Structure 1
Amino acid sequence: MNKRRFRTTKILVILIILISALTMGFKQVVGNDVNLNINGNTTTVFTYEKTVGDFLEKQNIEVKNRDAIRPSLDSEITQDMDIVITSPKSYQIKDGNRIVIAEASGYTVGEVLENLGIKLNKLDRIDVSLDQVAKEAMTIKIDRVEQENIEHAVEIPFESERKENPDMFEGETKVINAGQAGEKIESVLNTYVNGKIESSEVLKSEVTKEPINEVVEVGTKKAPKTPNGQSVKKVITMQATAYDPSAGSKTAMGTRARVGAVAVDPRVIPLGSKLYIESMDGFASYGYATAEDTGGAIKGNRIDLFYNSNAEALRFGRRNVKVYVLD
């Protein structure tokens, strides 16, 4: 009797468990909840269907040719899976230097760009996240970024060293060593955004030629005063010759050739400069003059003094003089 009662009780317990499984757990055993999102509207639907395609057919949902759906129709249904359907919407894409206005399907910005065939390169920049939900009439801005490595030569300027010379007058200068520019090779990374340069970064710099400094002597000796006390800004030792009216009646400045109008190299003494010319060997000093003329043979530290006659010019000959350039 006890054995029968035990078996009966055991059978009842098994039946209760089966009934509970059938009434309370059957849903979990053979069906799944899915999240159906159609153009942003989401509902949770319980289904016994095995694939996404079967589920949509069961729900009488028609997917049009231009609609986008994920996952694919042959994907297997799983618990709490998301099924997203989006119909085409209008978008404005500022893609680098071009503007694209088009309709496209896709739930996220990334899907919209993919459906439009717009690909992003590694360096490109976009003003919204690719995972952001795409909304009707939204604007998407893409900056196209390119980088270029170049090498170019850059001049290194030389510096000027100044050395005082007490034997030279104030204002006088003399180049002892001519400076030479150096050179370096730079490796530069240029970044372009939409075809325009945004930045240049020097990645590497190598000096291939060191610059050579210029050395210039500058006078420190006080310049003398002229006989009438005029101040002097420069004193130049020059080789002097003489010429007379037979060379012409007009100077290079268009003035009348005369005593006191002398010929110079304008690169050394500018035309129009006021001068005082002093003999260095006891010959009578020429005195005050103005640089008004030039001559084919008067180059560098040469000066040609006008005399009224050929005899005076021949008497002067060729000799060294000190030329005081007056303030």
Structure 2
Amino acid sequence: MKPVVGPNFNLGSPRGRGPLGILKGAVFLALVVLLAAAAPRWAVKEVTITVDGTSQTVTTLRPSVAGVLAQAAIDLEAQDRVVPAPETRVVDGMTIQIRKAFPIVLKVDGQELALWTAAMTVQEFLDEAGVALGPLDEVTPGLETPLPGPAEVQVVRVEIETFWEEERVPYQELRWAEPTMTVGTTRVIRQGREGLDRVHVQLRYEDGVLVERRELARERVADPDHRIIGVGQRRPTSTQVVQTPQGPKRYRRVLEVLATAYTPGPESTWPFTDGLTATGVVARRGVVAVDPTVIPLGSHLYIPGYGLGIAADVGAAIKGNRIDVLYEDLDDALRWGRKWVKVYILDE
């Protein structure tokens, strides 16, 4: 390297040729040479560059991170992540970390976007893309999922709406055996009236589309009054007689049925707790629930072991040759249990 010559150092000066001048010049020249040799050592720095986990070490005189990366021929895309920033001044021993961007598809708000990112997690990717999440929104895969990994991130906008609404409860049409009317004739004994329920409803929307309707609760406001049609039963007197505790009774038909027992309390009748049967008769001993297609409502009955009764109620489980006899006491109902019995349909 050429020695640096200062502006006041003149080798051609007459004074420079004297012994003292020559000595001074030699010392100064040696100092300049020493400084010139030492200066590059002060500027040289050793830097580690890590690209997606792969490291290399470079020796550089470049003053900035951007200069070091240019020296190492590392091309950066706009979405690549460099730490520290490219404009940072380089110091000896520095580590420069580069995370190369990768493609990922974002599905959100009816759009499908092909993006490049160097984000570490799904949450970071969404923040980078400016996607704000609502409290119920669902993200697939989860927010803590590391990237790269899934090729697609989907955001489903979720909204929940709840409200109360009224719902009509339809009435049934029940047929009542009317002994005062001739066989083959009918008349309306009671008009039907719909009941009313209040229903708590929850609606779930995903991306604005209704996907689920759930019933959260239901309250009975008014029970329905079933429509009752009287069906004539009067015919020539029967000659068939059965002995009862109240004396002999004429009957027109006898059936073999499976009989259970119930009480007027909520343990048997919930949600109907007004103490009335389906036909409006007060629930008391002697009331029998029947299938009206087998035993007409209003029929007077005799059941051995139970006594006289009237077919005045119905039940969801009482279908076909089944009956449910009413006891006012739960212990009595439990003692009755479940048994096969004969039911006499009386001619009265």
TM-score, structure 1 normalization: 0.43
